[in-house]
Amino acid sequence: MDKDSKQADDGVKRADYATQKGEVILRKHEYDGIQEYDQKLPNWWLVALWASIAAFLIYYTVYYTFNMVPSFADSMDAKVEAVQETRKKALAETLANLDDSTLVNEWSTDAKIVAAGSEIYASQCVACHGADYKANGGITGRALDDGIWEHGSKPMDVFKIINDGTPEGSPGLNNMKMEAWGKTKLSAKQVAEVTAFLISINPKDFAEYKK
């Protein structure tokens, strides 16, 4: 658009567009012989324009400004949380009712649980109890494959010594005590897993609990 045609436009008020059907109003500028109609946009188009702007404002206010409708992500989060809550409750219940039979018949026979227990053993216990479970000849801990369970030979006794550590007042082994893993580095679930692992490598010791 050159300067002259701009000039020519200046006298035109925006309300000068065609208002009658069939009426043609040309804007005053011209470029290379090309001129422009000055028509009012059809009502259906204007309605669509203003309605979509209004819809956007309402949508934005409802969803983003006031968070009145939970978003899809929010409702998914809530669902996932509910599932996790249910599972957590189920686990807490299982652990609360954990007993000799459950440890032997359910936990120690579940390959996934035993594998998890084995991993915990390899990362947390192996330094003292050894990869061969002999605790470096009984110097750094108690052997875990000798059929002797100094702190009780029931599955829950094994769980307890790992979870609670050497009982208060007990001398331990050459003054070395077992850490209360359940209070420090492991969850109750992990203690049960590593217990299940120990049961699985000593099937004879716990055969009497087998159903």
- Which residues of the shown chain bind ligand HEC in the complex (CB under 6 A)? 120, 124-125, 127-129, 140-142, 144, 148-151, 158, 161-162, 166, 170, 172-173, 176-178, 181, 194
Least distance (Å) between residue 127 CB and ligand HEC:
5
Least distance (Å) between residue 152 CB and ligand HEC:
7
Would you say 104 or 120 has its CB closer to ligand HEC?
120
Would you say 103 or 125 has its CB closer to ligand HEC?
125
DSSP 93: H
CB contact at 8 A, 94 and 113: no
CA-to-CA dists, residue 118 to 92, 122, 163, 179, angstroms:
22, 6, 16, 18
Least distance (Å) between residue 183 CB and ligand HEC:
12
Would you say 116 or 194 has its CB closer to ligand HEC?
194
What's the token pair of residue 16?
A: 């000068």
User: Among 85, 206, 97, which residue's Cα sits nearest to residue 153?
Assistant: 206
Would you say 6 or 177 has its CB closer to ligand HEC?
177
Rounded Cα–Cα distance for residues 6 and 138 (Å)? 99
Rounded Cα–Cα distance for residues 99 and 192 (Å)? 10
Least distance (Å) between residue 109 CB and ligand HEC:
19
DSSP 169: T
- The contacts of residue 31 (CB under 8 Å, 6+ apart) are 1, 2, 5
Would you say 58 or 176 has its CB closer to ligand HEC?
176
User: Among 208, 114, 129, which residue's Cα sits nearest to residue 161?
Assistant: 129
Would you say 48 or 176 has its CB closer to ligand HEC?
176
Rounded Cα–Cα distance for residues 77 and 41 (Å)? 46
Least distance (Å) between residue 195 CB and ligand HEC:
7
Least distance (Å) between residue 70 CB and ligand HEC:
43
